[in-house]
Structure 1
């Protein structure tokens, strides 16, 4: 049975190799969320009070001057599992996507109620700031910008508008250097 218990903020030890970085701005967002909604997501720690998950929440608790925070002890994890879970807990959540239309519906409903939508973590001060409202790119021009034979320099990379079956196009693309990799549009 998982037990949530109060632990002293000063007793919790952040994992020294935590790869997830929290900016001051994000810690302030977490602190504002805790202030508005409460500390609803306990910090996960090992049997020695080492933080496994919740480093940002711990930083926010310190910023708020909290003495105690809810925590769950995960004493059953091996050292290897702890290291893996620290990465997994942060990374797996990033693999989800947003339904932008539903986000807009929810944010508009919250705005209608007079709720500060910045507390949700969405910075939508302008009505056109959701991804659905953004242009997918500049309007198409009637005249092509790229013409056959053009070579575009992209940092150390070269992009050529040409025909891979024509040796002069290949020479122009390569600029006298052997390629490490090549992407083409087969069958040509």
Structure 2
């Protein structure tokens, strides 16, 4: 059992001293878990040029990096001859690993007071303030979202479904060179009417339902109605039959060698491949969408060649 450290021996009482070292004398940790994409390194370079090196690198007396891998890469890119370093003595290897993780993770646990953030960014956006807002680390798109006007609450109100919808199954609209239709994707006759009798398509982007419930899964309960079918109620065999009907209908209006992009959540990827054995000749590729926040799993896009 670990004993509590006495106040006299507490690391909080350690007096820090900044020294300046050659960047090449510092050794990055090959197992550093934090990634630093080129865009972030460019932001660090921009910050150092504007404000100077305000955050020293942390290292042990042997020059092994504990924290500051991104800052070191930025310094080398800027060809700086020296960088500020705080040497931390007396840490065990386990403590160095823990501090390396904590230095990044604790900062990520912070949040934003959006009202105050909006005020701060608004102040920095004033014409008389000559400063590059990119120095804040926020992208132009993020700044636009924060500074955008407060949305109208009425915009969040979902209108009631009319008792007598104006749009009916089978309706087709001609929009310049494009056509939009309302109908059943399993209905080959309907699809042939949409693309034009005798015509064939070269490519299709297909996003059938994933047989996953919407409410309580993809969206908060009540914000979106369930799909008319394949919304979690089908068995595996029923869902595979549904996919075969849907994708097979589109294949019948596609030319030989056409490419179909099929979206599916990762949980049901096998259902897609199993249901199209008699529809497509080749699986060309699988693209995974690495989403920042998951909805119905992750989108899995399969590229098939329709040659049957």
Classify the TM-score, shorter chain: 0.7 to 0.9
1:153 is matched with 210
Residue 159 of structure 1 contacts residue 173 of structure 1 at CA under 8 Å; is this kept in 2?
A: no
> Which protein, 1 or 2, shows the higher relative CO under an 8 Å CA cutoff with sep ≥ 6?
1
Residue 10 of structure 1 contacts residue 67 of structure 1 at CA under 8 Å; is this kept in 2?
A: no
Residue 65 (1) aligns with residue 65 (2): no
Task: Show structure 1 runs of 5+ residues with no match.
Answer: 145-151, 162-170, 178-188
Task: Show structure 2 runs of 5+ residues with no match.
Answer: 1-14, 163-208, 216-231, 239-308
Alpha carbons of 1:131 and 1:172: their partners in 2 closer, same or farther (altered >3 Å)? Answer: farther
Aligned-partner Cα distance in 2 for 1:160–1:24: 37
1:102 is matched with 116
Residue 50 (1) aligns with residue 64 (2): yes
2:19 is matched with 5
Alpha carbons of 1:176 and 1:89: their partners in 2 closer, same or farther (altered >3 Å)? Answer: same
Alpha carbons of 1:131 and 1:96: their partners in 2 closer, same or farther (altered >3 Å)? Answer: farther
Residue 142 (1) aligns with residue 156 (2): no
Number of aligned residues: 162
Alpha carbons of 1:134 and 1:176: their partners in 2 closer, same or farther (altered >3 Å)? Answer: farther
* TM-score, with length taken from structure 1: 0.74
Aligned-partner Cα distance in 2 for 1:132–1:92: 29
2:291 is matched with none
Residue 44 of structure 2 contacts residue 70 of structure 2 at CA under 8 Å; is this kept in 1?
A: yes
Secondary structure at the aligned position of 1:129 is classed as helix
**Residue-by-residue CA offset, 1:14-69 (whole Å, 9 max, x unaligned):** 01100100001100000000000000100000121011000010011011110100
Aligned-partner Cα distance in 2 for 1:140–1:95: 34
Alpha carbons of 1:12 and 1:127: their partners in 2 closer, same or farther (altered >3 Å)? Answer: closer
2:146 is matched with 130
Secondary structure at the aligned position of 1:6 is classed as strand
1:90 is matched with 104
CA displacement at 1:175 relative to structure 2: 4.1
Larger radius of gyration: 2
* TM-score, with length taken from structure 2: 0.47
Alpha carbons of 1:127 and 1:57: their partners in 2 closer, same or farther (altered >3 Å)? Answer: closer
